[in-house]
A and B are shown apart, each in its own frame.
Chain A
Amino acid sequence: MADSVSDATADEGVAADDAEGTEPEVPEIDLPSDAFDAVLDALADRDPGDPLRFEGFGVARDGDDGDDGDPAGEYRLDPADGDTQTGLTERELHAALDERAPEVTDWHAFERVVGEFGPRRAFLRWLEDADGATVATRYAALAEGIERAWGELRITATVTDRGARRYDVRHADDAGVPADELDAYDDPLDARGLVKRDAKGRYRPLKTAPSLAGGWVFPDLGPRDAYEAVETIYPATVANWHREREGELDVSHWRETMARQSGIYGVVKTWDRGEGYEHVNWVAEACCDDSQCLKRREWEYDEETDLDVDGGDGAFPCREPCSVVVSAARKWTRLESEQPRTYEFELTPSEKEQVEDIIDAVADGRIDEIREADTKEGANRYRTRFLRAKLFDDEENLAGVPTEPDEEDEE
């Protein structure tokens, strides 16, 4: 595999020798002292003969008492496909591990740098398919850069010539843009400022809305900071994704979530009148569509009753109606308690279609895209102002028809 390189040269960048071969090459890795020291510490914590396992080999202390520093011949190495080497000195062990630096640094990266915390570990392993691909395959791919999507993020994982993982986190729209053309950050908490407003400067009350602004990059994060950056941009999405992968996602469906509400939101439970769940279909279509939120809706009307609208294709799940949905539902509970009435308006066919165009444009967030002079568009501002000028009376009633039928008598 990797050639042994004994002196610690500081080659920058990754050794991607793609000029000749078709197979991506495993980069040369120097075994850094922190990884080697971690191996020695791990062995010191183990009983003699109890091997520390790496991909393709194990390392153990030999049977004698081994707590007295660095006696000659203390270590043994068991390759899966070769002869056991015994009586290795610390120097010889270092040389043997340096020859296997990808496997050792891979162990070090996940066991010592990333640590045990479930969501973080699972996410960082998923980024490079660490539970599926071999170290050699992954290191070769990391040398080229492994790209993953998470919501609107593009995450690129690489490996240094000392086997450390580095991550570039940016908006997917900025993929391929040189980092020095973007605003660079290194503290993952700085992401709090990046997610607060959309590209037009408007406040984003829902962090998983597909309105993340670009123009920034975290060009060189370590594993823990990469996880923190992603969890700051899309809070709890990794935690919920991890629970889902473990088969432990706790979904709270619409009915139980509404039943739990109290205070000013207590009214929302009265919206469920035992007359079906069409109203919840409308809520999900309004708020939870992929065009509005990148989470994949896993909650339904109740345990037995699925909604009829699609939950979306997001990488991370939505496990219950969020506070934005609950707040909107409170408003709709009041609005939907009104009884329909028959109003009579006269509209030309084009005016009817224009009303539909306006509703579509607002619902799809398209009004800013409609050009000033494009009067072919029903939701064009001049067209809409013309409609208002023609159809509204002095009280802003559409076609002069009052909202309340007895309003005219009261005037």
Chain B
Amino acid sequence: MQSLVIVAHGSHLNPESSAPTYDHADTIRATGAFDEVKTGFWKEEPHFREVLRTVEGDEVYVVPLFVSEGYFTEQVIPRELRLDGWDVSEWDSDGLSADQATLVAEDIDREVHYCGPVGTHRAMTDVIVRRAESVTGDPDVGDGFGLAVVGHGTERNENSAKAIEYHADRIAERDRFDEVEALYMDEDPEVDDLPEFFESDDVVLVPLFIADGYHTQEDIPEDVGLCEDHTEGYDVPTDVDGTRVWYAGAVGTEPLMADVILERAADAGADLGTALDDVRETTRVAAGD
């Protein structure tokens, strides 16, 4: 019996924080690739500490719904899941290449496959592009458009910037958008000065965050100048100093994220049948508006 456990941050304050986790779990559940799909949280219930005891299967894949390798994926989650013998060297990662480690979870005395975070997977690049398609309503968006991928800088986590750069570089290599930039919230190049980094009249701004919350709904819109105060809301697109900014909100809310979760489990050995194709098909952006 094959089980998927999606672990995410959750929130004590923001009721929408868990929404993407539940949505992607539902998408994956509908494929039938797993006998069960469970969700666990740091700030909600079931907590990381107790989620594994709700799992019935004997082939258990744990996928962190986090954007980068770092404190949560390397310390908090393995500790709280009680992965026996965990050491970050198990992943042998350069900050982007964590794939999976198979360890016994003491809580259930069974092996689990602990996967790298979704945010650093190569398939995440496609989700960022898909997000640009969603927010513009154009499945062919690119020509005449710039794309900015935005994240925390290194201040909080050195690997955060690595993930942003990785995806920005991969998108740039595709020559689909006229310009692609990696921007940061707390270091240069800063998202506050977005129009300075683009010549294109239209720029899609995609924050590499899992859920919409303080950073994506308050911080970034105000810093970029989409609104004076986040309580006023903002239009998509909004003109900022002559640049039309198409603000996408958290990339983690994009339905195609379910694909990255599946990719992580597949890389760790899960048998998915046709689920990957199914998810790519069901989450497509319809042409036209």
Q: Is B174 an interface residue (CB 8 A)?
A: no
Task: Pick the interface stretch among B41-49, B235-243, B258-266, B280-288.
Answer: B41-49
Inter-chain contact A262/B13, CB cutoff 8 Å: no
Complex Cα spacing A231 to B79, Å: 24
Which residue, B11, B12, B22, B45, has most C-beta atoms of chain A within 10 A?
B45
Q: Which of B13, B51, B53, B107 contacts A205 (CB 8 A)?
A: B13
Q: How far apart are B60's CB and chain A's nearest CB, in angstroms?
A: 14
Those of B43-82 within 8 Å (CB) of chain A: 43-47, 49-51, 53-54, 56, 71, 75-76, 79
In the complex, the answer to whether B79 meets A260 with C-beta atoms within 8 Å is yes
Shortest C-beta distance, A328 to chain B (Å), equals 9
Partner of A323, one of B47, B79, B107: B47
> Is A203 an interface residue, CB under 8 A from the partner?
yes
Complex Cα spacing A225 to B225, Å: 48
Residue from B11, B47, B53, B107 having most chain A Cβ neighbours under 10 A: B53
Docked CA distance A76–B26 (Å): 47
B12→A205 contact, CB < 8 A: yes
A239 engages B22 (CB within 8 Å) = no
- Which of A170-222 touch B at CB < 8 Å? 189, 192, 196-197, 203, 205-208
**In contact, B75 and A262 (Cβ under 8 angstroms):** yes
Q: Does A357 count as interface, using CB distance less than 8 angstroms?
A: no
Structural contact, A203 and B13, CB atoms closer than 8 A: yes
B12 touches A323 (CB 8 A): yes
By the criterion of a CB under 8 Å from any partner CB, how many residues of chain B are at the interface? 24
Q: How near does chain B come to A206, taking the closest CB pair, in angstroms?
A: 8
Query: When chains A and B are docked, how far (Å) is the Cα of A320 from the Cα of B44?
Result: 14
Q: Is the CB of A240 within 8 A of B71?
A: no
**Interface flag for A63 (CB, 8 Å):** no
A327 touches B12 (CB 8 A): yes
**Chain A count of residues within 8 A CB distance of the other chain:** 28
CA distance A322 to B46 in the complex (A): 10
Partner of A324, one of B12, B26, B71: B12
Q: Which B-chain residue is minimally distant from A324 (CB atoms)?
A: B12
User: What 0/1 readout, one digit per residue, does chain B (172-197) give for beta carbons within 8 Å of chain A?
Assistant: 00000000000000000000000000
Contact with B along A229-263 (1 / 0, CB 8 A): 00100011001100100000010000000001011
Partner of B47, one of A119, A189, A322: A322
Are B47's CB and A197's CB within 8 A? no
Residue of B nearest to A192 (CB): B22
Cα separation A236 to B47 with both chains bound (whole Å)? 9
Given A117-B56, A235-B45, A260-B79, check contact A197 B50 (CB 8 Å).
no
Nearest CB of B to A9, in Å? 35
Check B50 against A235 for contact (C-beta < 8 Å): yes
Q: Are A203 and B79 in contact (CB under 8 A)?
A: no
Q: Is the CB of A205 within 8 A of B44?
A: yes
Whether B42 lies near A323 (C-beta < 8 A) is yes
B12 touches A263 (CB 8 A): no
Chain A positions within 8 Å of B51 at CB level: 236
- State whether A231 touches B54 (Cβ < 8 A): yes
Smallest CB gap from A260: residue in B: B79
How far is A319 from B47 in the complex, measured between Cα atoms in Å? 12
Residues of chain A within 8 A (CB-CB) of B50 are: 235-236, 239-240, 319
Instruction: Determine the chain B residues whose CB is within 8 A of the CB of A240 once the complex forms.
Output: 50, 53
Contact residues in A for B79 (Cβ distance below 8 Å):
260, 262
Contacting residues, chain B, for A323 (C-beta < 8 A): 12, 42-44, 47
Q: Are A235 and B46 in contact (CB under 8 A)?
A: yes
Q: Is the pair A235, B43 in contact by a Cβ cutoff of 8 Å?
A: no
Closest to B14 in A: A203
B54 / chain A contacts, CB cutoff of 8 Å: 119, 231, 235-236, 239
Closest residue of chain A to B11 (Cβ to Cβ) is: A205
CB proximity of B130 to chain A, nearest CB, Å = 25
Least CB distance, B75 to chain A, in whole angstroms: 6
User: Could you say which of A205, A207, A208, A262 has the most chain B C-beta atoms within 10 Å of its C-beta?
Assistant: A205
Give me 11 other A-B pairs in contact (C-beta within 8 A), A119-B54, A208-B45 excluded: A117-B56, A119-B53, A196-B15, A235-B46, A236-B47, A236-B54, A239-B50, A263-B71, A319-B50, A323-B42, A327-B12
The residues of B with any CB-CB pair to A shorter than 8 Å are: 11-15, 22, 26, 42-47, 49-51, 53-54, 56, 71, 75-76, 79, 107
Q: List 26 A-B contacts (CB under 8 A).
A: A189-B22, A192-B22, A196-B15, A197-B15, A205-B13, A205-B43, A205-B44, A206-B45, A208-B45, A235-B45, A235-B46, A235-B50, A235-B54, A236-B46, A236-B50, A236-B53, A236-B54, A239-B54, A240-B50, A243-B53, A262-B79, A320-B49, A322-B47, A323-B12, A323-B43, A323-B44
Contacts from A to B (Cβ < 8 Å): 117, 119-120, 189, 192, 196-197, 203, 205-208, 231, 235-236, 239-240, 243, 250, 260, 262-263, 319-320, 322-324, 327
